[in-house]
Amino acid sequence: MNLYLISKNIPMNNKNNELNERRDFIKTSAILTGGALLSSIPLAGAYASGSDTIKIALIGCGSRGTGAAFQALSTKFNLKLVAMADAFPDKLEKSHKSLLAKFGAEKISVPEDKKFTGFDGYKSAMEDADVVLLCTPPGFRPVHFAEAVKQNKQIFMEKPVATDSPGIRSVLATAEEAKRKKLNVVVGLQRHYQKNYRELIKRVHQGELGDIISGQVYWNSGGVWVNPRQPNQTEMEYQMRNWYYFNWLCGDHIVEQHVHNIDVANWVKNKYPVSAYGAGGRFLRTGKDYGEIFDNHSIEFVYDDGTVISSQCRHFTGGANRVDESFQGTKGKIFLDSSNRGKIWDHKGKVLVNYEGKNDANPYQTEHDELFAAITANQYKFADAENAAKSTMTAIMGRYASYSGDVIKWDDALNSNINLMPDRLAWDALPKILPNFDGTYPHAIPGVTKVI
């Protein structure tokens, strides 16, 4: 099966309706992420307030999962970690040990029979918890999110929220269900919880820059880790331990990392793009250790008003790195980055705002402070999943564009039926992407690979 093909049998929705819905949603979402109160009485998953302890479960005990548990347990509220799940026992134990060392046995109350490993442990780990932290690689997020909502849990989940279009459609459906049940959902697109982004983008939405007509977003950095293949590893274990390099698990780095900056573009524009066009490839990262992903993507995202946002992401060492966002409006321009900085100028170069939030709170902590404040007050305040799904979809649409070299339209991308997930999840099962006889993996070739 060619994983790079998108089905041609795409049901075309009424585009105008869909655009209007997208516009309406993102306005709502911007309000929600500002923390507007939606309801004070959750329908499901209500936490019994007072002196009760909030029980949390960690699903995916790697570096971010351990960090998210650390941040949850560092809030001022009365929390206890009661269950953990990871595909690998060694990862779970390492995380447990470091959390136990930091917080002690009273807060890290995870007996042996509440430590779950393998692919199915997530379900049992959720059972005893009020709040679940979903921090596996993103390929599993749609299924884990659906189970968490089914079990009426309040949720923190990491970005991105899927790696393919069927996964996005699943998350969108589950997001609706979470709203119906009034379950708080915070997603780790932490710029939405960072003061410089919140304050300066509010000014953009108030019209200080006029209409935004162009922008540039970047995640140009040196790349990530490699875990060399070990003797006796099955192909499934190899790919799971090197999840970054396989699209069913990671989505490529345009999805895994650059979603942050692409999401800022959507936030600033208050809408999602209608098409993507661009290129990418594997210049330097070409060997057997690097799976199927590209080391660079350059994409133009086009919005319905003609605005073009240029996006670059690459994983090279050497060269100039940058991770930030700039936008130009009819009255002025803005720069933002994750080091708590922001600047607004008029077109004559006069600086109108020069924001340097040296003492601003860590947004990774703010996510949890605000989520658990809402939960302890029995408030329904956060519905981040729909925007996260649509920003993740934007990044996936960028991947489709760079893999093919074609112009990719939003509706075609969203309705693709190509499912990257393996048919069966087990250590002896085969992923859909398999190595060539020389140990390298097949990958897309722009201009040759057809995605539509």
Ligand X SMILES: NC(=O)c1ccc[n+]([C@@H]2O[C@H](COP(=O)([O-])OP(=O)(O)OC[C@H]3O[C@@H](n4cnc5c(N)ncnc54)[C@H](O)[C@@H]3O)[C@@H](O)[C@H]2O)c1
Under the rule (CB under 6 A), what is the footprint of ligand X? 59-65, 85-88, 91, 119, 122, 135-138, 140, 158-159, 188, 190, 240, 256
Q: Shortest CA distance to 5 belongs to which of 408, 416, 394, 281?
A: 416
Tell me if residue 160 falls in helix, strand or coil: coil
Q: Burial-class residue 188 by CB neighbours within 10 Å (0-12, 13-18, 19+).
A: buried
The two three-digit tokens of residue 92, written as one number: 């779970």
Would you say 38 or 132 has its CB closer to ligand X? Answer: 132
Would you say 157 or 201 has its CB closer to ligand X? Answer: 157
Q: Smallest distance from the beta carbon of 326 to ligand X, in angstroms?
A: 20
Would you say 69 or 212 has its CB closer to ligand X? Answer: 69
Q: Shortest CA distance to 431 belongs to which of 440, 422, 439?
A: 422
Question: Which residue number is nearest to ligand X in terms of Cβ?
Answer: 62
What is the distance between the alpha carbons of residues 333 and 212, in angstroms, rounded to a whole number? Answer: 8
Would you say 163 or 449 has its CB closer to ligand X? Answer: 163
Q: Smallest distance from the beta carbon of 239 to ligand X, in angstroms?
A: 10
Q: Smallest distance from the beta carbon of 92 to ligand X, in angstroms?
A: 7
Would you say 47 or 294 has its CB closer to ligand X? Answer: 294
Q: Which residues contact 237 (CB under 8 A, 6 or more apart)?
A: 427
What is the distance between the alpha carbons of residues 93 and 112, in angstroms, rounded to a whole number? Answer: 10
The two three-digit tokens of residue 138, written as one number: 């993103």
Tell me if residue 207 falls in helix, strand or coil: coil
Q: Smallest distance from the beta carbon of 256 to ligand X, in angstroms?
A: 5
Q: Where are the beta strands (DSSP E) in 125-203?
A: 131-134, 154-157, 185-187
Would you say 89 or 207 has its CB closer to ligand X? Answer: 89
Q: Smallest distance from the beta carbon of 68 to ligand X, in angstroms?
A: 8
Asked whether 332 and 343 are in contact (CB, 8 A), the reply is: no
Tell me if residue 353 falls in helix, strand or coil: strand
Cβ neighbours, 10 Å, residue 180? 11
Would you say 259 or 408 has its CB closer to ligand X? Answer: 259
Tokens 């941040």 locate to 71
Would you say the C-alpha torsion 66, 217, 16, 209 has a positive or negative sign?
Answer: positive
Would you say 137 or 329 has its CB closer to ligand X? Answer: 137
What is the distance between the alpha carbons of residues 391 and 162, in angstroms, rounded to a whole number? Answer: 10
Chain Cα centroid distance, residue 234: 28
CB burial readout 247-267, b (16+ within 10 A) else e: bbbbbbbbbbbbbbbbbbbbb
Would you say 117 or 165 has its CB closer to ligand X? Answer: 117
The two three-digit tokens of residue 414, written as one number: 């969203």
Asked whether 88 and 115 are in contact (CB, 8 A), the reply is: no
The two three-digit tokens of residue 68, written as one number: 């998210």
Q: Smallest distance from the beta carbon of 219 to ligand X, in angstroms?
A: 11
Would you say 369 or 406 has its CB closer to ligand X? Answer: 369
Q: Smallest distance from the beta carbon of 180 to ligand X, in angstroms?
A: 25
Q: Smallest distance from the beta carbon of 384 to ligand X, in angstroms?
A: 12
Q: Smallest distance from the beta carbon of 269 to ligand X, in angstroms?
A: 21
Would you say 159 or 333 has its CB closer to ligand X? Answer: 159
What phi and psi, each to the nearest 5 degrees, are found at residue 403?
A: -70, -30
What is the distance between the alpha carbons of residues 252 and 248, in angstroms, rounded to a whole number? Answer: 9
Q: Smallest distance from the beta carbon of 99 to ligand X, in angstroms?
A: 13
Cβ neighbours, 10 Å, residue 169? 18
Q: Smallest distance from the beta carbon of 254 to ligand X, in angstroms?
A: 12
Would you say 159 or 399 has its CB closer to ligand X? Answer: 159
Residue 306: left (phi > 0), alpha (psi -120 to 50), or beta?
left
Q: Smallest distance from the beta carbon of 56 to ligand X, in angstroms?
A: 15
